A and B are shown apart, each in its own frame.
Chain A
Amino acid sequence: MDTYLQFIVLGLGLGAVYIGLTTGLVLVYRATGIINFAQGAMAMWGAYVFAQLRIDGTLVLPIGRITFGAKPVILVAALIGVLMSVLLGIVAHYLVFRPVRHAPVLAQVVVSVALMLTLQALVVIRFGPNSIVVDSLVPAGTVTLFGVEVSSRELIMTAVMIALAALVWAYLRFTRAGVATRAASENERGAMLMGFAPDRLAGVAMVLASAVGTVGVLLGSSLTGLNPANYTLLVVPALAVLLVARMESIGVVVAASLVLGAFQSVVNLLVSKPWWPQWAQSGVDQVIPFVVVMVILFLFGRRLPSRGTLQTVRLPDVHVPRIRPVPALVLVAAAVAVLALTQDTYRFGVTYSIILMLVALSYVIVTGYLGQISLAQTSFAGAAGFTLSKVTTNWDMPFPLAILFCSLVAALLGMIVALPAFRIRGAQLAIVTIAAALAIERFVFNNYALTPPSGNPIANPSLFGLNVGVREGSDLSRMAFSLTVLVVAVLVVLAFVRLASGTTGRMFLAVRANERAAASVGIDVRTAKVIGFGLSAFVAGMAGCLIGYSAGQLSAESFTVFVGLQILAVAYLGGITSFGGAVIAGIIGPLGIIYVVLHEVFDMGDYYALISGIALIATAILNPVGIAGETRRQIAWLRGKLRARPADPPPVPDRKVLSDVS
């Protein structure tokens, strides 16, 4: 029993971090209606600044650095760290969040995800990719609690964070600005007419949120060390707590954070016991909270409160695609030509672009058409990939059958993830799916019992005795494999166009536009969601199998939550509602051809994540229809101009543009 109490206290340290991050999430949500996926990353920046100040007295800024003669005192360093985060919060508020306040939920999710990716990339560039040790603000020590000697540091941290959360609560409860923030979250126009500037209130909330979150991470990172991934992703459990607290109750945030932290700590103790099954040791601390949150939401979930805003903007328009043989053939011919003209790394980049196009297409189906925000697409791809490794090595399943089978497995997983979408929508669904993705990543992909560290080899594919494997001898990227990928992609795209232009596509669009209206004309909304998630997971699964074949063996790195977010980013950048957007996403996606060129020619691979993050923020703010949509809009505008002047020659359709095919 003593050990359990000790672990519970240790877990409170983690709980204290959750309190900081989730309190910030609540503040920002109430003030802006935006769920800030970048909360962890923003707080992490301040913690890094603090840690670096204590290591060598250097104040690292996003660009440039200031070197102090001596290392500052720990409290001064902490203050500077918090101050840097607060400045970051202000900048983020004005440059990133304020412009998308009335944008569609998808744009808001994408913008905060993009900010998170940008900050993570920036941390890697400015502070390096390795874990660093962080000085502790709270001295280590022990106290005796119920006759058991436990660490006092976690208890002090918890007390500090509870006090800060109480301050935030008091701000929202008793100050005029705080009450106005709550008022504006309910009725923004009403608050403006009463003389409040919601933007100003949101700025204040952002400052408070950054400060509280950063203090949490500052304290927590002394226990765990800092690396670019851990605190960025710590926002996921914090988001789960946010859902449990129904986006508003600070009291529930504190309680749920502490329970979750303690619980995860105890689970980590339990899995080390001999009676705990070996296959379930990895990632259980992520899976169980996810399941618990799901159950809470499912059984007790009343409609989660949403925010009253001035106006809402719809998702980008969808142009129902149709098959146009000439542009389609031109596109395929162009792809074949490019593949024939390139070799090795570059051909591999092009091939990978085609595969990424499929992953992006899976986002087009589930998000662009069905209107559901899923951040779990790479988990579907990964599930198919790992299944492929099993069925090709253990069962010798032949090539085309194997990827169909594995994609069906992914589709099944997708249908399961569709279940929460029955009850949960918009950004909240994004939270649930990212939590699911993280749980799958930790529990399945990183689980040595399921995916041995020695590797997950995948047998080379062959078709009618013809070897279509990716490499043979010194040829690292064979044409046969690239063509196979292309054929699979063409078949998937043809199937997509058929479905999207038919009843299924219209059913999805109806659900996207208005679920109640869709139900009233006889569409079974739940069935539509299950089919949509299933289809999109199937396409993602296809891509996952091709990724598997392209590597010859599978590693979890191909399918992390971050990779998923990056592909969502480029899918949105390209245009989330069209096939043309998916093509652009494939071209600019991570490990795709542009990435390869950046890496090989300019040696700027490190900057890829930073550049794509910033480009994504800019796209989501300036141009919510994405590159493909914007190109189409400009073509339409040009055509309109040309038609308006009959004296001019008839317009020549621009065949070069990819979006024309869809």
Chain B
Amino acid sequence: MPEQLLSAEGLTAGYNGVPAIRDLDLSVGAGEVVSLLGPNGSGKTTTLLALVGLLPAMAGTVTALGEPVPTRRPHLLARRGVRLVPDDRGIYFGLSVREHLRLARRRPDPARTAAVLDRFPALAGLQSRKVGLLSGGEQQMLAIATALLGGPKVLMVDEMSLGLAPKIVQEMLPAIRELARDEGIAVLLVEQHVELALAVSDRAVVLNHGRAVLAGTATYLLAGRDRLESAYFGADEFAATQGA
């Protein structure tokens, strides 16, 4: 069992006093890729927002890098190396690629920049382009590249595949897997593409109606398609978590 860099216990969070996720347990260790799966509205994005403290926890605890996560101060968390790439990718259309790379690090570090750009060679030639003019895939690469430049210990990516061509998704997900292994980053992926996500993950949690209805290793989940499908579509008999 690797060191747990990000963990939630009994996490309940939501909007205007109404919980959207209830009693969620989750943990990601160094070098591990965990997927958070589930249909629309099951609480995946809410979970991420609560994990970085953008949404205050109504109950339960969230711990990142061994310390409790402060409420509504995600910038402090980001500086410590816990990065969330949100569903809007958290990039700025009016700024150039170079400016994004500049923002990502406190002190410029050409070696690190070159190393990150090696992983995303498409970006290297686009440095002076305004981000609004990039394609969806390039934007997503940039979002991940800026997150990586800061040298994160925990990386959360919300719906990386959103709006991307399937081919690009097939290239990018394995890249994330390599990253986790090479740099020992704890990665939490929120995905709609169940099979693609499971193919690169160590473990996964399936959410439905704000509750974890199924959790286990990727192999275990891939082995039982029926089980996975009923969890996804909300069959009651899978209310209990199994495996792991």
Contacts and interface: CB of A to CB of B under 8 A. Distances in A.
Contact of A176 (B84, B88, B103): B103
A114 B135 CA distance: 45
Nearest to B106: A176
Nearest to B131: A186
Contacts of B99: 179, 183
Given A176-B102, A176-B103, A192-B75, A186 B92 contact: yes
A190 B95 CA distance: 13
Contact of A179 (B75, B78, B86, B95): B95
Interface string B37-51: 000000000000000
B147 to A, nearest CB: 8
B18 to A, nearest CB: 16
A187 B92 contact: yes
A194 B86 contact: no
Interface in A159-188: 176, 179-180, 182-183, 186-187
A156 interface: no
Contacts of B104: 194
A486 interface: no
B74 A180 contact: no
Given A176-B102, A179-B103, A196-B75, A187 B91 contact: yes
B95 A183 contact: yes
A1 interface: no
Given A179-B99, A195-B79, A189 B92 contact: no
A189 B53 CA distance: 12
B158 to A, nearest CB: 10
Nearest to A198: B75
A187 B83 contact: no
B150 interface: yes
Given A179-B102, A182-B94, A194-B146, A189 B79 contact: no
A80 interface: no
Contacts of A190: 86, 88-92
Given A176-B103, A179-B103, A180-B103, A192 B78 contact: yes
Contact of B103 (A183, A189, A192, A197): A183
A194 B54 contact: no
Contacts of B93: 186
B181 to A, nearest CB: 24
Given A179-B95, A193-B74, A187 B90 contact: yes
A194 B52 contact: no
Chain A binding surface SS class: helix
Contacts of B106: 176
B60 to A, nearest CB: 22
A188 to B, nearest CB: 10
B220 to A, nearest CB: 32
A93 B85 CA distance: 30
A353 B83 CA distance: 57
Nearest to B80: A195
A186 B78 contact: no
Contact of A189 (B54, B95, B150): B54
A193 B92 contact: no
**Looking at chain B, what size class is its interface with the partner chain?**
20 to 34
**Looking at chain A, what size class is its interface with the partner chain?**
10 to 19
A183 B52 CA distance: 20
Nearest to A190: B90
Interface string B138-156: 0000000010001000000
A115 to B, nearest CB: 26
A170 to B, nearest CB: 14
A197 B77 CA distance: 11
A413 B79 CA distance: 55
Contacts of B146: 194
Contact of A193 (B78, B94, B95, B102): B78
Contacts of B95: 179, 182-183, 186
A176 B98 CA distance: 12
A193 B103 contact: no
Contacts of A182: 92, 94-95
B150 A193 contact: no
Interface in A434-488: none
A387 to B, nearest CB: 48
Given A176-B103, A179-B95, A179-B103, A195 B88 contact: no
B78 A194 contact: yes
B92 A183 contact: yes
Contacts of A189: 54, 86, 88, 90
B103 A194 contact: yes
A192 B52 CA distance: 11
Contact of A197 (B54, B75, B85): B75
Contacts of B89: 190
Contacts of A191: 75, 90
Nearest to B99: A179
Contacts of B88: 187, 189-190
Contacts of B86: 189-190, 193
Nearest to B72: A192
Nearest to B78: A195
A195 B90 CA distance: 12
Contacts of B74: 192-193
Contacts of A196: 75, 103
Contacts of B150: 194-195
Contacts of A179: 95, 99, 102-103
A193 B106 CA distance: 14
B79 A193 contact: no
Which of B54, B83, B90 is the most central at the interface, judged by chain A CB atoms within 10 Å of its CB? B90
Contacts of B85: 193
B68 to A, nearest CB: 18
Contacts of A186: 92-95
A504 B89 CA distance: 42
A189 to B, nearest CB: 6
Nearest to B150: A195
Interface in A131-155: none
Contacts of A192: 54, 74-75, 78
Contacts of B94: 182, 186
Contacts of B84: 193
Nearest to A179: B99
A179 B108 CA distance: 14
Contacts of B78: 192-195
B144 to A, nearest CB: 13
Interface string B91-119: 11111000100111010000000000000
Contacts of B52: 193
Interface string A544-557: 00000000000000
A179 B96 CA distance: 10
A195 B73 CA distance: 9
A185 to B, nearest CB: 9
A196 B90 CA distance: 12
A538 to B, nearest CB: 40
Contacts of A197: 75
Contacts of A183: 92, 95, 99, 103
A189 B87 CA distance: 11
A187 B131 CA distance: 13
Nearest to B89: A190
A542 B83 CA distance: 59
Nearest to A187: B92
Interface of B: 52, 54, 74-75, 78-79, 83-86, 88-95, 99, 102-104, 106, 146, 150
Question: Ordered nearest first, which 5 A-B pairs have the shortest CB separation?
Answer: A190-B90, A195-B78, A186-B92, A195-B79, A183-B92
Given A176-B106, A189-B54, 11 more contacts: A180-B103, A183-B92, A183-B103, A192-B75, A193-B83, A194-B90, A194-B103, A195-B79, A195-B150, A196-B75, A197-B75
16 contacts: A176-B106, A179-B95, A182-B92, A182-B94, A183-B92, A183-B103, A186-B92, A186-B93, A186-B95, A190-B89, A192-B74, A193-B52, A194-B75, A194-B90, A194-B150, A197-B75
Interface of A: 176, 179-180, 182-183, 186-187, 189-197
